[in-house]
Chains A and B, each alone.
Chain A
Amino acid sequence: MVDTTQMGTPPRKTSLTHSSAQVARRKRKDVVLQGFGIAAILIAFSVLFILVASLVRTGYTAFVQTHVTLEVFVDPGEISEEGLPRGGFRDVLTAALLENLPEADPDEDARAVRNILSNGAQFDLRDRVVADPSLIGQTITLTAPVSDPFDQLNKGGVNRETPEDQRRVNNQEVAWFDTLAEAGLISTPFNIGLFTHADSRFPELAGLKGAIVGSFWALLTCFVISFPIGIGAAIYLEEFAPRNRMSDFIEVNINNLAAVPSVVFGLLALAVFLNWFGLPRSAPFVGGMTLALMTMPTIIIATRAALKAVPPSIREAALGVGASKQQVVFGHVLPLAMPGILTGTIIGLAQALGETAPLLLIGMNAFITSAASSPFDASTALPTQIFIWADSPERGFVSRTSAAILVLLGFLVTMNAIAIYLRNKFERRW
């Protein structure tokens, strides 16, 4: 009941246009808080910008590759049909180079001239001739990568002003290269090999195919294992498990599991999968199982959150028309939670894609020059390939390391973009 109005103190007179001291103080606090927020965002963005910019600066040269185009006479004297796949492919190529370098001595300089070409050029030629032996005796046009020192020379990685004895290419080699360039034989196309070649000792031949394929198999294994198990566990815990000490205990430990450093999972995998079960070393399948151990808690947590977010009114509606618990969960709750589950899964997989430590421990940092054709073949993965290349001294690997990081970041950004897209597309308002 409201009594008569209280007339004790007269109402304070305030003006709307003049802010009192208290209001001014409050306003100042707002401004300061906003300032901190903006500063934090600026710092975060500039760090990100510096990271990407430095990667692009060192990595962009790896996305193109210097090639030389030669008219090659497939000399029947060197290469015979019966001898295939053996033959003097290297000598044939050297001869073709010498043809274009009149100043070089065919006898004395043959070795040095040969080194202009990548070691892989002879195999390119061999593959072509093996595929079509009728080429023997003909003159064919071959575009082949040059070796790393000349690639660097072309891309500006070698300073011509530095004294000759401190340079990786001597004056004579520079002159030869310039001759080839003047003849219009040097080209710098997009480096397809970066994506179609596996690893190699020669930086100009090394590519990411093996790593990408390895990461693909590992992620596929990880998904196939962690998605059903993670969702199953989450559904059971969230919808069916009785709430008691046991389920609390499990819940706490799932959260703990999500916080375990990945190297520990690697050690576990080494001990259990490799030493105990005797699974193959370096195999993406084992890598995927290891990553699944880490992804599973993420998926369980994301799934439970998504299931919890489904409004209880939907469950009541379904129960109210006589749906069984299982019909409610699988017919109504799970479909509504799916976008959230998928988002969580993709983010979990993106984490797994960048995970390095556990893969190092199970030997996925081996030097492997062919892409895995099954998840059980030895392979590298993107992050371990970066690790290997970062350890290699050649200049060509420095830019390739940055390029590989950019490729990895590209995959991660794509996956996160898909997750955000899914979340927005299926976002529901109740």
Chain B
Amino acid sequence: MNDMRLTERNMTDQKIKMQARGVDVFYGDTQAIKTVDVDIQDKTVTAFIGPSGCGKSTFLRCLNRMNDTIDVCRVTGDIRLDEEDIYDPRVDPVQLRAKVGMVFQKPNPFPKSIYDNVAYGPRIHGLATNKAELDEIVEKSLRRAAIWDEAKDRLDQPGTGLSGGQQQRLCIARAVATNPEVLLMDEPCSALDPIATAQVEELIDELRERFSVVIVTHSMQQAARVSQKTAFFHLGELVEFGETSQIFTNPQDTRTESYITGRIG
């Protein structure tokens, strides 16, 4: 664990980007999330940690209403993006997901060209008025995802032909291309080798300058390296939420302490 970085990291208090209050999630009759309150700050990396099956992904997917696509899933409570209730009946989840992008655990590029992968979001949201603008967005996104150099000569080749780590960075580029305000990442590095992981982590740190990032991870080291805020989930409850440095050095709850020292999970 990089404790040097951990301690010297100072928290400028950013404004709150997303706010969850009293969120319950049910899959049919079983409750997966129990009354969770979380604030996601702008231009901050927030890490969700916790043992497997504790509801990290479930909660993350509430933030862009991906859970809407699961028939049995029911979400109650209040989640706001910039003061607006995202579960308001007037909200179109399609518009929400343009603002709250998502990167999945398994790289899932479209079986289309690299260019089309990145251009897809801007196209459907009408972010570019002509080809030149679109080209520019694609290049900028690929650069931001640190894959431009590898991809620039093969933009017309299928994205599925890239290596796993390249695919994941392509997916990040795709998510970044729609210019989201919040980027949700569900274990983005679990399919990557240490080098690709380091690249993605570096990338996350850069992305933080533009928007807020929420990352689910099973690696305590990763959480400590990339995040400023950490939320610890256990059995569907949010046990502890605070500064990453505080969670890792001075956890308030015994369950948190057990988990980060490797005794549960």
In the complex, what residue of chain A is closest to B178 when comparing beta carbons? Answer: A321
Q: Assess the A318–B110 pair: CB atoms within 8 A.
A: yes
**Bound CA span A330–B28, Å:** 29
CB distance from B32 to the nearest CB of A (A): 18
**Bound CA span A242–B71, Å:** 9
B189 within 8 A of A: no
**Bound CA span A311–B103, Å:** 16
CB distance from A138 to the nearest CB of B (A): 67
Which residues of B sit under 8 angstroms from A321, Cβ to Cβ? Answer: 97-98, 101, 120-121, 124, 174-175, 177-178
Which residues of B sit under 8 angstroms from A391, Cβ to Cβ? Answer: none
Q: Assess the B104–A313 pair: CB atoms within 8 A.
A: yes
Q: Assess the B106–A323 pair: CB atoms within 8 A.
A: no
CB interface residues, B 31-85, toward A, < 8 Å = 64, 66, 69, 71
CB interface residues, A 142-158, toward B, < 8 Å = none
Which residues of A sit under 8 angstroms from B175, Cβ to Cβ? Answer: 320-321
A322 within 8 A of B: yes
CB distance from B103 to the nearest CB of A (A): 8
Q: Assess the A320–B124 pair: CB atoms within 8 A.
A: no
In the complex, what residue of chain A is closest to B121 when comparing beta carbons? Answer: A321
Q: A313, A317, A322, A323 — which one has the most chain B CB atoms within 10 A of its CB?
A: A322
A302 within 8 A of B: no
Interface string of A307-331 (1 = CB under 8 A from B): 0000101111111111110010000
Which residues of A sit under 8 angstroms from B98, Cβ to Cβ? Answer: 321-322
B94 within 8 A of A: yes
Q: Assess the A323–B109 pair: CB atoms within 8 A.
A: no
**Bound CA span A333–B132, Å:** 28
B108 within 8 A of A: yes
B2 within 8 A of A: no
B95 within 8 A of A: yes
Q: Assess the A322–B125 pair: CB atoms within 8 A.
A: yes
**Bound CA span A320–B100, Å:** 8
**Bound CA span A282–B103, Å:** 59
CB distance from B65 to the nearest CB of A (A): 9
B111 within 8 A of A: yes
B102 within 8 A of A: yes
Which residues of B sit under 8 angstroms from A243, Cβ to Cβ? Answer: 71
CB distance from B121 to the nearest CB of A (A): 4
CB distance from B88 to the nearest CB of A (A): 17
B137 within 8 A of A: no
Q: Assess the A316–B101 pair: CB atoms within 8 A.
A: no
CB interface residues, B 95-139, toward A, < 8 Å = 95-98, 101-104, 106, 108-111, 120-121, 124-125
Contact-residue bracket for chain B: 20 to 34
Q: A314, A320, A336, A428 — which one has the most chain B CB atoms within 10 A of its CB?
A: A320
In the complex, what residue of chain B is closest to A316 when comparing beta carbons? Answer: B104
CB distance from B140 to the nearest CB of A (A): 16
Contact of A320 among B102, B106, B160 (CB under 8 A): B102
Interface string of A188-212 (1 = CB under 8 A from B): 0000000000000000000000000
A90 within 8 A of B: no
**Bound CA span A98–B258, Å:** 114
In the complex, what residue of chain A is closest to B177 when comparing beta carbons? Answer: A321
Q: Assess the B108–A317 pair: CB atoms within 8 A.
A: yes
**Bound CA span A316–B171, Å:** 12
A332 within 8 A of B: yes
Which residues of B sit under 8 angstroms from A327, Cβ to Cβ? Answer: 124
Which residues of A sit under 8 angstroms from B178, Cβ to Cβ? Answer: 321-322
**Bound CA span A428–B158, Å:** 12
**Bound CA span A319–B108, Å:** 12
**Bound CA span A269–B98, Å:** 51
Which residues of B sit under 8 angstroms from A315, Cβ to Cβ? Answer: 69
In the complex where A322-B125, A332-B110, A428-B111 touch, is A317 in contact with B94 (Cβ < 8 A)?
no
**Bound CA span A311–B71, Å:** 17
Which residues of B sit under 8 angstroms from A323, Cβ to Cβ? Answer: 94, 120, 124
Q: A315, A321, A332 — which one has the most chain B CB atoms within 10 A of its CB?
A: A321
CB distance from A339 to the nearest CB of B (A): 12
Contact of B121 among A311, A322, A332 (CB under 8 A): A322
Q: Assess the B66–A322 pair: CB atoms within 8 A.
A: no
Q: Assess the B69–A322 pair: CB atoms within 8 A.
A: no
In the complex, what residue of chain B is closest to A321 when comparing beta carbons? Answer: B121
**Bound CA span A430–B111, Å:** 9
10 A-B pairs within 8 Å (CB atoms) are namely A314-B110, A316-B66, A316-B102, A317-B171, A320-B102, A320-B175, A322-B98, A322-B124, A323-B124, A430-B160
Known: A314-B110, A317-B171, A322-B178. 20 other contacts (CB 8 A): A311-B108, A313-B104, A317-B104, A317-B109, A317-B174, A319-B69, A319-B97, A320-B64, A320-B102, A320-B103, A320-B104, A320-B175, A321-B98, A322-B125, A323-B94, A323-B120, A327-B124, A332-B110, A428-B111, A430-B160
Pairs of residues from A and B, 5 with the lowest C-beta to C-beta distance, nearest first: A322-B98, A313-B108, A320-B102, A321-B121, A322-B97
